[in-house]
Amino acid sequence: DAGVIQSPRHEVTEMGQEVTLRCKPISGHDYLFWYRQTMMRGLELLIYFNNNVPIDDSGMPEDRFSAKMPNASFSTLKIQPSEPRDSAVYFCASRHRFDSPLHFGNGTRLTVT
């Protein structure tokens, strides 16, 4: 079990550029979550999927953010255009069932200059 895999680990980009974060959940897990962590706001839930379908995107900050899950083994979080205030660590997590523990990846540290 390789765990939840996120890429890249670090991303530095300039304001206005498009950023794509990637996540491979644990095989067999039905739920996938995207979180964002900053010093000011802590860990925030952005969106989650069940069986590849977005269920709750109420945490997505604005239209610049979009997330997709084209299949059970891959998800992306895209920011277009990026802004300095998007700088944060973005975590992906997955779980097998609704009552199973969440397994987190090691995150992507995004810096927008």
| Positions in the binding site for other proteins (CB under 8 A) | 4, 31, 33, 35, 42-43, 45, 48, 50, 55-56, 91, 93, 95, 97-107
Which of 51/80 has CB closer to other proteins?
51
Which of 33/65 has CB closer to other proteins?
33
At closest approach, how far in Å is the CB of 33 from other proteins?
A: 7
At closest approach, how far in Å is the CB of 4 from other proteins?
A: 8
Which of 14/56 has CB closer to other proteins?
56
Which of 54/81 has CB closer to other proteins?
54
The DSSP bridge pattern shows strands 10-13 and 74-79 to be unpaired
